[in-house]
Copies of this chain bind each other. A is one copy, B any other.
Amino acid sequence: MIRFDNDYTEGAHPRIIEKLVDTNEEQLPGYGRDHYSDEAKALISSICDHDVDVHFMVGGTQANLTIISSALRTHQGVIAPDSGHIAADETGAIEATGHKVLELENENGKISAEQVEDFVEGHWNSPVREHMSQPKMVCISQPTESGTLYSKQELERIRKVCDDYNLYLMVDGARLGYALASEENDTTLADVARLCDVFYIGGTKVGALFGEAVVISNGSLKEDFRYIIKQKGGMLAKGRLLGIQFKVLFEDDLYFDISRHALEMAKRLQEGFENKGIEMHYPSPTNQLFPVLTTLQIDKLRQKYAFQPWEDLDVDRKVIRFCTSWSTDENDVEALIEDIGRL
């Protein structure tokens, strides 16, 4: 079975594994107070080109719920596309911390500045707004769960609305590498740091064994963040594991290099589908592809490949997700393309 079902099918990039092996016997302080963590934070801060706080966390859901419950008061909610991870894929993790996810209808995984403004305007204009969850944060994913990207202009317009209505802007960057390295992308990590109040740089899906780097730009969100990491169960005793991994990822542009590999693999695969006349459900320029296949095609491919069912369009046409990643083997992609050609 060759797996294209997600971007976390292997362990970690060999350079990360190597570094974990090399440092294994070193005695270091716990809870992220080690020098590797400090160095990794300094590297990320430097690339962000902004006065930021960096914290390492184990996973995305944990990062989302920690950030949001740290930032919001009890009556405040977070605006997100209805396709967003916090809305659709986290077992009500945000609600479990007491906050409503205020869902806006997505288009290809995205929401627009206008949608946000209309919603927030509606809240503040309501004479009974106290009977509604108060919108205080916008959380979008870059790239989105549909593989699409926000352009710099789109982000700037959302930022503008956030400024106008006193909202925090948060980016779930679980696959941020695959956005930043995309040919269609016009946004740098420094742009993201400048435009967001808080975001995170995904490691789990981009070469690390696990780990997300939370980056806080807004000074008012920095206070006491470590308390909340601890409370929510996210403070790793051997925090070094996160520091070491992110140091490796960011010291020689490894994060961007391996992201580019995934995108190159996705591009070839997409051409394979399109050459066969297979339509893509979302216009994704990143590492997730959403071809529309027939049941017969799916059954054939299923013999050799793992992929993820996404949505049934009708009885015979189904959207399927294929992921490439930092670890995708070129030969596997070629084999798959060949098999697509034979469908």
**Cβ-defined contact, B238 with A8, below 8 A:** yes
Contact of A91 among B10, B91, B96, B131 (CB under 8 A): B131
Q: Does chain B have a CB within 8 A of A278?
A: no
Q: Is the interface of A mostly helix, strand, loop or mixed?
A: loop
Instruction: List CB contacts (< 8 Å) of A1-42 with chain B.
Output: 1-3, 5-6, 8-12, 14, 17, 20-21, 23-31
- Interface mask (A233-245 → B, CB under 8 Å = 1, otherwise 0): 1111110110000
A141 at the interface (CB under 8 A from B): no
Whether the pair B204, A75 counts as a contact (CB closer than 8 A) is: no
Q: A8-B237, A24-B11, A28-B9 are in contact. Are A226 and B130 (CB under 8 A)?
A: yes
Residues A91 and B227 in contact in the complex (CB < 8 Å), given A17-B20, A232-B233:
yes
Contact A1–B20 (Cβ < 8 Å): no
Name the CB-closest residue of B to A11: B24
Spot the interface stretch: A57-65, A150-158, A287-295.
Answer: A57-65
Do B98 and A75 touch across chains, with their CB atoms under 8 A apart? no
Contact indicator A230/B91 (Cβ below 8 Å): yes
Contact B65 A69 (CB under 8 A): no
From A3, A97, A224, A227, residue with most partner B Cβ within 10 Å: A227
8 of the cross-chain contacts (CB-CB < 8 Å) are A3-B27, A8-B237, A9-B27, A9-B30, A10-B25, A75-B224, A75-B227, A95-B100
- Contact present for B10 and A27 (CB under 8 Å): yes
Query: Within 8 Å CB of A63, what residues of B?
Result: 233
Cβ of A342 to closest chain B Cβ, rounded Å: 23
Report how far A229 CA is from B90 CA in the complex, Å: 10
In the complex, are the beta carbons of A59 and B237 less than 8 A apart? Answer: yes
**A28-B9, A70-B74, A210-B238 as given contacts; A231 in contact with B59, CB under 8 Å:** no
What is the minimal beta-carbon distance from A316 to any residue of chain B, in angstroms? 18
Query: Are B69 and A227 touching (Cβ within 8 A)?
Result: no
Contact across chains for B227 and A134 when beta carbons are under 8 A apart: yes
Give the distance in Å from the alpha carbon of A79 to the alpha carbon of B123 in the complex: 23
Say yes or no: is A298 at the interface (Cβ < 8 Å to chain B).
no
Min distance, Cβ A145 to any Cβ of chain B, angstroms: 12
Q: Which residues of B contact A99 (CB under 8 A)?
A: 92, 95-96
Docked pose: A298 CA to B27 CA in angstroms: 20
Q: Which of A8, A91, A227, A228 has the most CB of B within 10 A?
A: A91
Q: How far is the CA of A306 from the CA of B41 in the complex (A)?
A: 24
* Contact between chains at A11 and B241 (CB < 8 Å): yes
